[in-house]
Each structure stands twice: as structure tokens, then as C-alpha cells.
A and B are shown apart, each in its own frame.
Chain A
Amino acid sequence: TQLLEQSPQFLSIQEGENLTVYCNSSSVFSSLQWYRQEPGEGPVLLVTVVTGGEVKKLKRLTFQFGDARKDSSLHITAAQPGDTGLYLCAEAPGYGNKLVFGAGTILRVKS
């Protein structure tokens, strides 16, 4: 089973700051997903990246998949309190197999 490492584990910043969180593996990802889980709610899928070097943008969020498909990053520009939550990366392996989640990064944005 592939081990996904996320860093940092916890991040507390002021509103308006930029931040980057990371997801790394020792093996090549088939494809990678990023989820956000708000307090008291279930995870919500933000993006799926498949191709090495791929960059996707979702408003103030920029997702990057490493060229070698062994790492990914999520950059948030001008963070807002509404961005507070747990950010999870997950590998989506072959057809019919299970998602494997990283341990997550807890983000707190203070106003």
C-alpha cells in the first residue's frame, strides 16, 4: 500500500496570507485527488490531477502535480477564514480499487 505523506500537519495563518501544502509519495501516483473537509462535515472533492506537470486552478487555489507524478502541491492565495479546514490528498489507483488518503493538513485562517 502506497504511503502518502502530507506536510505540514498543521498550519495557522492570518487572513490574506499565501500558503502551500504538500503531498508526497515514494511511488508514482496513478492519479491524485485533493479534498477539503470543513469542521463537522464530510470531505468534498476539490480536484483530480492525472498528468505529470499538470496545473489546475480553482479560484484562489492552484493545484500542481509533479512531473514525475510522485508529489503534488496545493497553493492558496490570499487565504480567507472560509478556507479553514482539513486538506486531504488521496491516490486513486486502478479501476475498482480503493482510495488511499494521506493524514491531512489542518489549516486555520484567522481574521
Chain B
Amino acid sequence: DTAVSQTPKYLVTQMGNDKSIKCEQNLGHDTMYWYKQDSKKFLKIMFSYNNKELIINETVPNRFSPKSPDKAHLNLHINSLELGDSAVYFCASSQDKGDWTQYFGPGTRLLVL
């Protein structure tokens, strides 16, 4: 069984569109994260939720809005997509916000044309 899953794996879209990426974890973890990995492989955190509560919100354009319907799911909605949003987006989870053992999903490769 996949521990952290993301859909879709690939996403190609036009500038200006709105898109969502979904993430689910079946590990029973309390904390989930969204990371962005740019073309140079640099991995940076965007958001973190603990038991559906936002606990980390980095300097991210407000076009990005995370939503956690329950602690097993953390979705990322992006409005008005821009060329610079092209990247790989990873979801991750950990037992709780103090546990540094993070489990990453396989990533969503977003290409904005």
C-alpha cells in the first residue's frame, strides 16, 4: 500500500488556469506538508498542517491555497497559474509536528505553458 500518494503525477496546463493537486496519507500521521522543488532540484517547504490546522505558511503567493479536509488529506489549489509555477510539488507527512521523520509522496510534475 502506498503510504503517501499524490494525484495527478503529471499536470500540463496553460497560464492563467486554476488547478488542484491532491495528497493522501494512510500512515495515521497528524502532520502534512507541501514542498516545491524547482528546476535546480532545490526543495523548499511551502505549507504545513497539523491536525487540519495551518502551522507553517512560508512566503508563498496567495494564489496558492492549501486545504485539509481531514488529517489524512492535504490538497493544494493554485489560481491563475504562471510560468514560474512550473516545478515538482511534493506532499509529505510525519507523525506529528515534532517528528523529523518525513515520508514524501512521489511528486506532481507541473508544467505551465
Contact = CB atoms under 8 A, between A and B. Distances in A.
Interface in A26-50: 31, 33, 37, 40-45, 48
Interface stretch (B13-21, B67-75, B95-103): B95-103
B98 A96 contact: yes
B97 A42 contact: no
Interface string B29-53: 0000000000011111100100000
Interface residues of A, number: 21
Interface in A78-107: 86, 88, 92, 95-96, 98-99, 101, 103-104, 106
B40 A45 contact: no
A101 B42 contact: yes
A98 B41 contact: no
A48 B100 contact: yes
Interface string B71-113: 0000000000000000000101000011011111111000000
B55 interface: yes
Given A42-B106, A96-B55, A103 B41 contact: yes
Interface residues of B, number: 23
A104 B40 CA distance: 9
A43 B104 contact: yes
B12 interface: no
A95 B55 CA distance: 12
A86 B41 contact: yes
B27 interface: no
Contacts of A92: 100
Contact of B97 (A96, A103, A104): A96
A103 B40 contact: yes
Contact of A31 (B41, B42, B100): B100
Interface of A: 31, 33, 37, 40-45, 48, 86, 88, 92, 95-96, 98-99, 101, 103-104, 106
